[in-house]
Amino acid sequence: MKLSHLISSLVLSLGGLVAATPAHAIVASLNTNANSLAAAAAAGSTGFTINSVTLSGHSTSTGTFTNASNTYGIGSGIVLSTGNVLHYGDGANNSTGNSTNYGVSATAAQTATLSQIGGAADYFDVTELTINFTTTTGSVFFNTVFGSEEFPEYVGKFVDAFGLLIDGQNIAFVGGKPVNIDHPSMAAIAGTELDGVLCPGAANQCSPVQTFSLSGLDTSISHTLKFIIGDRGDSSLDTTVYISALGGTPPAEIPLPGTLALFGLGLLGLARARQQRA
């Protein structure tokens, strides 16, 4: 059976599941206020106090989002990107090469951090949110969904990366591997414009939501949490992360509807031809 026929059959067999997922679940809004972004990420949290926040980004690379219909299974929060976050609400994947090129080189410090995650290279269009916090539980938790337009054509070539550093230590590892487009659990999961999403597990049951945490933190002092995302090699093709449920206690699990249906639609979208990068 040809791949196109196989994909079409899969999508048709999943029609009922797709129909059960309402449209316009993720609605993104631009927000470049560091304090507002941190507050939105930690909305409803307990055991966690924000002391100060700094942001390094671009005019459209940060925002908040709501998620009424639970696309990807992540709750409302903030979205950071190497491109325009308004392109990453939910809906059809209409472009296999979506890109906003700010053309801004990473600082030396940003390059050093991202090189540990995506490999030594030049980085561009970095967005970085740093939160100074205290915790009464000695722990910090948060949910993320990571995805990229670099997938699958530029795996191993333009390895866009995402880091979560607490007091300088990157804790963003899934299956022992850092979060970047080379991760073996990247998959074509429909739901937004993103071509690939980090989704460990069986193809029809994988989970796009990753919960990261670190325990054993000193409750008598403040700590630093840094979210950083960047394009490796050039400023083309966006990479994006959704962040929610930041706090000092574990986030509640949210059931994920229609993962199998989303996977099938993702494969269908990636079956289209893609314009090659110059």
Per-residue pLDDT of the chain (278 residues; tens, 9 = 90+): 333 333 333 332 333 333 333 345 899 999 999 999 999 999 988 899 999 999 999 999 999 999 998 999 999 999 999 999 999 998 899 998 999 999 999 999 999 999 989 999 999 999 999 999 999 999 999 999 999 999 999 998 999 899 999 999 999 999 999 999 999 999 999 899 999 999 999 867 899 999 999 999 999 999 999 999 999 999 999 999 999 999 999 987 555 554 444 444 444 444 443 444 44
Alpha carbon of residue 235 to chain centroid: 17
Distances (CA, A) of 205 to 128, 194, 241, 257: 31, 19, 21, 10
Distances (CA, A) of 60 to 17, 197, 250, 252: 33, 21, 30, 30
Alpha carbon of residue 149 to chain centroid: 11
Strand stretches in 151-238, DSSP E:
161-166, 169-170, 173-174, 177-178, 186-187, 191-192, 196-198, 210-214, 223-232
Which residues lie closer than 8 Å to 217 by C-beta, 6 or more apart?
135, 138, 139, 140, 166, 223
- The dihedral formed by the CA atoms of 98, 101, 104 and 105, expressed in degrees to the nearest 10: 50
Q: What residue segments make up the domains of the chain, in order of their start?
A: 23-254
Measured CA to CA, the distance from residue 168 to residue 191 in angstroms comes to 33
